Amino acid sequence: MMRLVQLGLIYGNLYEVSSPSMVARYNRALEHLTGRRTGLDAFHIDISGYSPEIGDEFGDELYLNPSGCNRQFILLSVEQKTAPLLNAKFSTSRTILRRFIDENEEQLFALSIRDCVVGELVNSIYSLTSPQDLFHLTTIHVEADTVGGHSQASEELADRIDRFMSEPDGWWDDVLIAEMIELSKHTGDIIRTPLALKSQGFEQGNFHTSHYGGLYVFRDARETACIAAGKLETTEGLPVKSVLSLEDRHEIADFLNRNALVELVYAQGSTRAVNILKQKLDFIVIDAAANSGENLLDVSRRDMRTLKRRYHGSLPEEYHAIEDVVRRLAAGQDVPWPQPDDPAYFYLLRSRNHRDKLLVNRLLAELTPLDFRQLFICHKDAFYAQYRIWSDAKKAYAAHFLAAEYMVDKAGTREELFGPEPGLDEEDDDYGFGRNMGPWGAIPRDDDDDDDDDDEDDE
């Protein structure tokens, strides 16, 4: 894995904690949440304040996520918002944390100057005993305050100010005035610098969880389903129409089509699609060549053609099916919607542009594991698991390809492969002029920095 670290393909874009004051502040927060302290002088943290170095020190990668259910967080700085979320148990967690920081950025900035902000993504259960428990996770509430309780003190001071201004005898209430003075020493001027954090619930709609071997829960779809990466021991009581595994190709294909969740890669034009599909062919050839012990360092286009000729007869069915589509597209021929029996079926699909686009592309990545680029972009945990069992030749090729072809222009590559990025919940804003429309036309959306969200840029 060190090759991935050196190329910035894992643990990249983390927030560095190296000054003694910041380390001390982190330790104060860590002890407040967990009763533990780190002995490290410097480390890196993700958007939630989790540090892989501290996780290794403790021998516990879930030290901020007990039972993998209610994620705790430590915010040293609002600059953490562009960092990935490591060891995410739910695909929605990073989105929720990012939105919470964005919506409270001014207050969090003021609070983090004084003290470390700590909190938790709170849901209605504290541990999972069966898959049915996942369906109780409907709304996630973010609870946060400084270790010293500045936000709570600010609310108490605001309440006393209201009493002072509204009660007839407030001006003569010495006890009330004394309480206000004492609280103001702790909070500062809350009139000029409000410290109250917005308490907001975030709905947990369709999501992926790594619990129970990996589950895709589609409960907000027209026809509900739960898709498991493996076989569930029990499916009784799951409140969905269908319970499927990744082996159920026809059923998954029917589910995606009935809910209008996918489109063909070549639906928006054949020229771009041909280039995308040709690269998928290259990835399949690389897999076969690596398994045969080929040296894949500095593979040129000429080398790739040589490998295709050498292994053409032994390449998997997926390769030949995709190759046939490429030929017909290049010749300008119509290519009808494939059938689920077609080995290339899921390789020819991508998500349509809807709210669950990232989730659907993650599912498609698991269904097309030979496309290591899509697996890395859409489902990094699955990519890292596959990477560990690859031959060294394939590890080297994949790592250097991703560093050279993806990391230099992540946003451009994602748009090329999957189309425009979907918005967050704001995509359904309606102020009486139509969805996403204001009195002067369409409501502009700011770019979300350089993160993927779910997965998520989890490099």
- Where do the structural domains in the chain lie, given as residue ranges? 2-127+139-203, 207-258, 262-422
Q: Is 121 helix (H, G, I), strand (E, B) or coil?
A: strand
What's the distance, Cα to Cα, between the start and end of the chain in Å?
A: 12
Name the more confident of 302 and 423.
Answer: 302
Answer yes or no: are the C-beta atoms of 69 and 127 closer than 8 Å: yes
Residues 174 and 168: their CA atoms lie apart, in Å, by 13
Instruction: Give yes or no for residue 1 having a pLDDT over 90.
Output: no
Other Cβ atoms less than 10 A from the Cβ of 125: the count is 13
Name the more confident of 58 and 146.
Answer: 58
- Give the contacts of 292 (CB within 8 A, at least 6 positions apart): 311
Q: H or E segment at 75?
A: strand 72-75
Other Cβ atoms less than 10 A from the Cβ of 196: the count is 13
Q: Is 370 helix (H, G, I), strand (E, B) or coil?
A: coil
At 426, the amino acid letter reads E
Answer yes or no: are the C-beta atoms of 282 and 305 closer than 8 Å: no
- Four-residue CA torsion sign, 324, 330, 336, 339: positive
Answer yes or no: are the C-beta atoms of 54 and 11 closer than 8 Å: no
Rounded mean pLDDT of the chain? 83
Given this model, what pLDDT does residue 18 score? 94
What are the pLDDT digits (tens) for 22-78?
A: 999 999 999 999 999 999 999 999 999 999 999 999 999 999 998 888 899 999 999
Answer yes or no: are the C-beta atoms of 367 and 350 closer than 8 Å: no
Given this model, what pLDDT does residue 419 score? 86
What are the pLDDT digits (tens) for 88-127?
A: 999 999 999 999 999 888 888 877 777 788 889 988 777 8
State the pLDDT confidence band at 195, using cuts at 50, 70 and 90: low
DSSP conformation class of 337: P
Q: Picking from 27-36, 170-179, 409-418, which range would have the lowest pLDDT averaged per residue? A: 170-179
Residues 167 and 186: their CA atoms lie apart, in Å, by 24
Instruction: Give yes or no for residue 193 having a pLDDT over 70.
Output: no
Task: Kindly tell me the burial class for residue 242, based on how many C-beta atoms sit within 10 Å of its own C-beta (0-12, 13-18, 19 or more).
Answer: middle
Residues 330 and 271: their CA atoms lie apart, in Å, by 8
Reference 387, options 371, 372, 408, 402; nearest CA is 372
What percentage of the chain exceeds 90 in pLDDT? 54
Could you give phi then psi for residue 119, rounded to 5 degrees?
Answer: -175, -165
- Give the contacts of 64 (CB within 8 A, at least 6 positions apart): 33, 34, 48, 49, 50, 71, 72, 73, 74
Q: What share of the chain is helix, strand, coil (3-state, %, to 5)?
A: 50, 10, 40
DSSP conformation class of 435: B
Residues 439 and 418: their CA atoms lie apart, in Å, by 31
Residues 149 and 143: their CA atoms lie apart, in Å, by 12
- Four-residue CA torsion sign, 293, 294, 298, 301: negative
Could you give phi then psi for residue 435, rounded to 5 degrees?
Answer: -60, 125
Write out the two tokens for 238.
């799951």
Given this model, what pLDDT does residue 145 score? 77
